[in-house]
Structure 1
Amino acid sequence: MIRFLALFAALGLIVGALPRTASAQDWRLADANTLAPATFLILTIPQDEPQALAALADTLEADFGVLLAAEWPLNALAVHCFVFDARNVPDVDGLIDAMETDARIRTVQRVRSFSLTEVLHTDPLLPLQWSLRSLHVLPIHALSLGEGVRVGIVDSAIDGGHPDLANRMADLRDFVAVEPTPLAEAHGTAVAGVIGAAATNEGIVGVAPSAEMVGLRACWQQDGAPGVCNSFSLARAINFAILNEVDVLNLSVGGPEDPLLTELIEAALDAGIVVVAASGEGEELVYPAALDGVIAAGQVAGRSVPAPMIDVLTTAPGAAHRYVSGSSIATAHVSGVVALMLAKDPTLTPAAISERLQEAIREVEAQPMLNACTAILGPNEACAL
């Protein structure tokens, strides 16, 4: 593999140096936005000693004509991941077929691309925070503010210095850039504001203003464009969330079905984590909201939980606020309600929470809408309207 180091450096893919060690910070990583979905492959390998993994990486490079771009341990699944650059391979599909029959390789897949779901609206005269009234959240704040519940937000970078969020973020991690720098991106900041903006200042109030929020940057935004994520960054972020015992996992993303992410999300559900994902803006549930056990949030008929998603006031980078729309914002509302539910009753399982959310859907102006009061107190309790 030494013969490839100069080429790796030219490609901008080397971020660490051999030999590898078992310490997480010493594994070779790459900026997630340099991994093109069509030509980079993620392999999972049974975990082994660093020297054995290094030798296997060399052998796989030689056997398949690929270059190692990144690697990291995925401890939530007890596997090690290699990301290989297959740009010089003329038949990538054939390469995947060959790798799938190799006994040394547990799984192989392309790096897939995901997008943040959002529709922007900027009318400044829209009613302020109508969404909290529509959800019947405010009466519940006398009983639950989300205390002690940890919400992982897999998204773009959250502005941790925003006045509504400055004391609300328990942790901020970057799974996109190898050398993280302080960032504030629009989508993640908006989602965090809906979930848990502080209730102690003159800004907005989040659905669960006392929940602990963990910002897990797995998506990136440039020049105001919609955010982009991929299998590499999302897998690392979800792995961190599982290992660090979040209670609620907010996935305001949508994209193609992804075997590795499916395995991780199922591991999260098995660990008792409530996973909430955006239903998408079409007529069918998008992935990962379509997975069994995941709570889909939005206005897709059927299994999704309807929540406010049109012209919702929330936080924006630089101490600002803006109106946003889309199933990403519905997802944030549902995650906030789940945090209120868990703070009130920590024994609730993901399945029980999903059932109670479905039972708490009511008609509001001829449209289905989640009633947070009913979800938390139960259908037989009186809820202030």
Structure 2
Amino acid sequence: MPDQVLFTTDADPAAIAAQAGLDLIEAIPLQSLGTTLVVAGLRKRDSLEAALQRLTQSADVHGPQPNFVFQTMSDAEPAPKRFAIHGLGAPTQVNANTSATARTIAMIDTSVALDHEALRGARLEQRLFIADATPKAHGTAVASLIAGSGSEVPGVARGARLLSFAAFTERKDGIAVATTTNLAKALDAAAIARPDVLNLAFGGREDPLLGLMVDEIDRRGVCVVAASGNGGARRRVPFPASHPAVLAVTAIDNALKPYEHASRGDRIDVAAVGVDVFVAVPDGTRSAYRRMSGTSMASALVAGALLRATECEGARAPTAIRPTARAAARDLGSPGHDPIFGAGLFLLPQEKSRSH
């Protein structure tokens, strides 16, 4: 948002905005951080750089920054109502049990089609941080992979409680986007809810405020998983997957080949199936499905499976999940960790021990 700036403060938001020559748009209490997020608009002939510089002069202003825009990580194409669900190596093979029923997983995404047949009977709760409540494809797809209750898309964490925090809207070109502001609201809600696992299937540039919020969520014992990005071989892993507290997941196909659009880099932790994955999508019939590809699909599968990981299931030791997941992965590509597959195919530790 080129005409908006953000900052946090414990003082009067309106007074600070006026003093800095800005128009107050919104003041948002962030309970998890114990402060207030202020959204302010630039006036005519002002610039983002000048506004940020003025804000740094106030001792009551913390972390002034732009209101960045993020987008989800998938593409889609129509598919017949039959397809191999998750394929070789997908976590669906290691998480089809009832132990998930006592667990909670959260996702920050688009709104979900709660009435879709694939989610009928799912323990799904949704909270909106956007004005448009119309169900969208990306969030519905991710929710079906995690908590799908039907035979077409059996969720990897079927029976678990799924919290959907909808922060993304669709542009006219079909791309789902969210601002720092809406994501901050959703992350605050996620921190307060304190689920076992949080899935973040989106990406963008480094965001200082959201980074602090991910730190706080990690401190509260939540395992955070993120899609490693669909920018291609020349694009680095975006935030939040680049954050050190996050398990970054890339996508591969059923033949264990890398997804052609996946971002690459040393920050990738593990890989999971995310190409031509069969998912639920909204279209008014309550029974529509598609094949979708992207690191978003892979991260959803890993996030659901992590409900069975000791570090996320009860020990509340999320800082251990990255090294544990890397150690348990099945090596792919070049020996050892590499910028394409990370440590390799994601496996839960108990699954790797059974494979030897």
What TM-score bracket applies, with the shorter chain setting the length? Answer: 0.7 to 0.9
Helix, strand or coil: the match of 1:95? helix
Query: What fraction of aligned residue pairs are identical, expressed as a percent?
Result: 25
Equivalent in 175, 188, 201 of residue 139 of structure 2: 188
- RMSD over aligned CA atoms reads 2.5
The answer to whether the 8 Å contact 2:6/2:39 transfers is: yes
The answer to whether the 8 Å contact 2:194/2:221 transfers is: no
Alpha-carbon distance in structure 2 between the residues aligned to 1:276 and 1:354: 10
Superposed CA offset, 1:134-168 (max 9, x none): 225335424x5522221111000011111221332
Corresponding pairs, count: 330
Superposed counterparts of 1:28-177, under 5 Å: 37-46=1-10, 56-124=12-80, 127-131=83-87, 133-135=88-90, 137-138=92-93, 140-142=95-97, 145-177=99-131
Equivalent in 346, 352, 357 of residue 325 of structure 2: 357
Cα–Cα, structure 1 residues 97 and 202, in superposed 2: closer, same or farther, change >3 Å?
Answer: same
Larger Rg: 1
Aligned to 2:189: 240
Helix, strand or coil: the match of 2:78? coil
Alpha-carbon distance in structure 1 between the residues aligned to 2:81 and 2:9: 54
Cα–Cα, structure 1 residues 127 and 86, in superposed 2: closer, same or farther, change >3 Å?
Answer: same
Aligned-residue offset at 1:207 = 1.0
Aligned-residue offset at 1:209 = 0.7
Are residue 285 (structure 1) and residue 237 (structure 2) matched?
A: yes
Are residue 315 (structure 1) and residue 280 (structure 2) matched?
A: yes
The two structures have a TM-score, normalised by structure 2, of 0.85
Matched residue type, 2:55: M
Cα–Cα, structure 1 residues 224 and 289, in superposed 2: closer, same or farther, change >3 Å?
Answer: same
Equivalent in 213, 216, 219 of residue 162 of structure 2: 213
The two structures have a TM-score, normalised by structure 1, of 0.79
Unaligned runs of 5+ in 2: 252-263, 335-339
Cα–Cα, structure 1 residues 227 and 82, in superposed 2: closer, same or farther, change >3 Å?
Answer: same
Superposed CA offset, 1:19-73 (max 9, x none): xxxxxxxxxxxxxxxxxx1111112012xxxxxx5xx334224322211111110
Cα–Cα, structure 1 residues 361 and 89, in superposed 2: closer, same or farther, change >3 Å?
Answer: same
Cα–Cα, structure 1 residues 162 and 224, in superposed 2: closer, same or farther, change >3 Å?
Answer: farther
Aligned-residue offset at 1:196 = 1.5
